[in-house]
Amino acid sequence: MAAWGERLAGVRGVLLDISGVLYDGGEGGGAAIAGSVEAVARLKRSRLKVRFCTNESQKSRADLVGLLRRLGFDVSEGEVTAPAPAACLILKQRGLRPHLLVHDGVRSEFDQIDTSNPNCVVIADAGEGFSYQNMNKAFQVLMELENPVLFSLGKGRYYKETSGLMLDVGPYMKALEYACGIEAEVVGKPSPEFFKSALQEMGVEAHEAQR
């Protein structure tokens, strides 16, 4: 306990991942990882600020929080930093209109974004939406642009569900990068800007946080 106390000396906040740390997704919403509900509750009872930082891009924040609550976690939508809302902020700031290759479960996050006459592409973990037709359409949009811009909500290679390992958005991002000769802008982990935004929302400095 003393060693743990020393490790947390000067720490004011904790960033927690969600998928694969708090729960494993799957049929019926998945299952909480043993001890995770109690660990979150204990952190929230402490003096530490807690924020949930996720690359989840198949669900809206509202749906994700609803799932976590059903699994027993004490979490609110305002405590979650996710890539889709962060991407929307970037799109608005830069006046970009995306072609979306995303999962239907997260599409509502982009309801206030103009998607007409796209001048960039946003891809996320689209699951079954990663068909040849959809990937080729994203490729065509990028190739028709004078200055193609590709945003990827995370760049993970794979993740774990209760049924086994699943391909993440990273391999599809790499395919578009290779085909178009461009480099994607990653919104989400491991982007330093994504972590910085989570820290700002939590009100702590980088040296005061543990993840």
Q: Which CATH number fits domain 83-187: 3.30.70.580, 3.40.50.1000, 3.40.50.300, 3.30.70.2190?
A: 3.40.50.1000
Which conformational region is residue 74 in: left (phi greater than 0), alpha (psi within -120 to 50 degrees), or beta? beta
d(CA 33, CA 90): 33
Query: Where does residue 106 fall: left (phi above 0), alpha (psi -120 to 50 degrees), or beta otherwise?
Result: alpha
Quick one: CATH architecture of 11-82+191-200? 3-Layer(aba) Sandwich (3.40)
Domain 11-82+191-200 identical in fold to domain 83-187: yes
pLDDT digits (tens, 9 = 90+) for 73-85: 999 999 999 999 9
Spatial CA neighbour of 197 closest among 81, 50, 65, 110: 81
- DSSP calls for 82-132: -HHHHHHHHHHHHT--EEEE--GGGGGGGTTS--SS-SEEEE---GGG--H
pLDDT digits (tens, 9 = 90+) for 95-104: 999 999 999 9
If DSSP codes are grouped into helix, strand and coil, which group holds residue 186? Answer: strand
Q: Are 19 and 25 in contact (CB under 8 A)?
A: yes
- pTM value is 0.82
Q: Which long-range contacts (CB under 8 A, 24 or more apart) does 63-70 make?
A: 63/105, 64/18, 67/23, 67/29, 67/30, 68/18, 68/22, 68/23, 70/29
Segment 115-139, tens digit of pLDDT: 999 999 999 999 999 999 999 999 9
17-57 pLDDT, tens digit each: 998 899 988 777 788 999 999 999 999 998 889 999 998 99
Domain ranges of the chain: 11-82+191-200, 83-187
Q: Which of 110-114, 182-186, 192-196 has the lowest mean pLDDT?
A: 192-196
Given this model, what pLDDT does residue 25 score?
82
